Homo-oligomer: A and B are copies of this chain.
Amino acid sequence: MNKASQPPTTELCTHSLTGMSYRDRDLVNELIGERSFTDVMFTQIMGRRPRPVDLRIVDAVLITLMEHGLTPSAIATRLIYMSAPENLQGAVSAGLLAVGSQFVGTMENCAALLEQLLASSDIDAKAREIAQDYRARKQPLPGFGHHLHKPDDPRSIKLIQLAQQETELGQAHVNALLTFNKAIDETYGRHITINATGAVAALLGEIGIPTHLMRGFAVISRAAGLVSHIAEEQRMPSGRFIWETIDEAIPYVKKASE
């Protein structure tokens, strides 16, 4: 293999005999005890100091994505924790692997559609075109629809209101989402709610998070949620109950024919 001509560098962290820096800020004197976790996280990820509005948006998103009860992610974490309690990180890792296409991935797909709308010269026409295309292909609309919350997912309404109150935000992504929602309702002839991942896509877009990095915020948030599940598992174990319940609920059958 030929080595790349220019070796990569890193801006994230350096350490010396007397201290450590994160992105040229002295860890001991400028960060620990001075800033919040969300602030330092944002700075490390984005390479710029967050404005107060960035922190409000990121906190709202991280809180929204943290927890959803006994989801596939939480059940997997509890089962792995039961099997290897010496290895808490493995239980969290197992659960994080659920942050894939079926749930959180819709956020990125929605954000990509919002990018298309924002790049278009006629956003209303483009919104109708995309909605009609999804309808024709009978594909689920990323960021829209919820099996439970009707007519509207209260989380999305709240998140959009929060963003709309922020005068420092350009509102382009939020407005694109609302335009898209209107086109969808017209195309399908009924109201389809913006769901939490749709609203999150717009909010993270407003503060400049690249589409392909959005999933990272879900991972961080869910890591915290999964640690809560392990804490509960330590107080009231459910792993063996889950195992026995499922082993009983899914019976063994002989193959019908061969």
- Residues in chain A within 8 A of chain B (CB atoms): 1, 3-4, 7-15, 17-20, 22-24, 27-29, 31-33, 35-38, 40-41, 44-48, 56, 58-60, 62-64, 66-73, 75-76, 79-80, 82-103, 105, 147-150, 154-155, 157-159, 162, 210, 212-213, 215-221, 223-225, 227-232, 234, 236-255, 258
C-alpha gap A75/B82 in the complex (Å)? 13
CB closest residue in chain B, given A243: B72
Q: Are B258 and A48 in contact (CB under 8 A)?
A: yes
Complex contact B75–A243 (CB within 8 A): yes
In contact, B72 and A100 (Cβ under 8 angstroms): no
A232:B10 contact, CB within 8 angstroms:
yes
Partner of A8 from B63, B228, B238 at Cβ < 8 Å = B238
CB A67 to nearest CB in B, in angstroms, measures: 5
Q: How far is the CA of A40 from the CA of B227 in the complex (A)?
A: 12
Q: Across the interface, which residues of B come within 8 angstroms of A1, CB to CB?
A: 147-148, 243-244, 247-248
A158 surroundings in chain B (CB, below 8 A): 28-29, 32-33
**B11 contacts A252, CB within 8 Å?**
yes
- A41-B224, A224-B41, A243-B71 given; A92·B84 CB < 8 A: no
**Whole-angstrom distance between the Cβ of A213 and the nearest chain B Cβ:** 6
Task: Decide if A10 touches B250 in the complex (CB within 8 Å).
Answer: yes
The 8 A-B residue pairs whose C-beta atoms are closest, nearest first, are A84-B100, A216-B227, A83-B98, A72-B79, A14-B252, A8-B238, A93-B93, A44-B228
Instruction: Apart from A44-B66, A48-B258, list 9 A-B contacts with CB within 8 A.
Output: A23-B255, A24-B254, A28-B154, A38-B38, A71-B247, A85-B212, A88-B219, A213-B227, A223-B223
Copies in the complex: 4
Contact B66 A40 (CB under 8 A): yes
B56 touches A33 (CB 8 A): yes
Listed A/B pairs (9) with beta-carbon separation below 8 Å? A3-B245, A10-B251, A12-B252, A20-B154, A32-B158, A45-B231, A72-B79, A91-B97, A219-B223
Q: A12-B69, A82-B72 are in contact. Are A37 and B40 (CB under 8 A)?
A: no
Most chain B CB neighbours (cut-off 10 Å) among A12, A17, A22, A95: A12
Residues of B close to A91: CB separation below 8 A? 97
Given contacts A10-B69, A44-B67, A89-B99, is CB(A37)–CB(B17) below 8 Å?
no
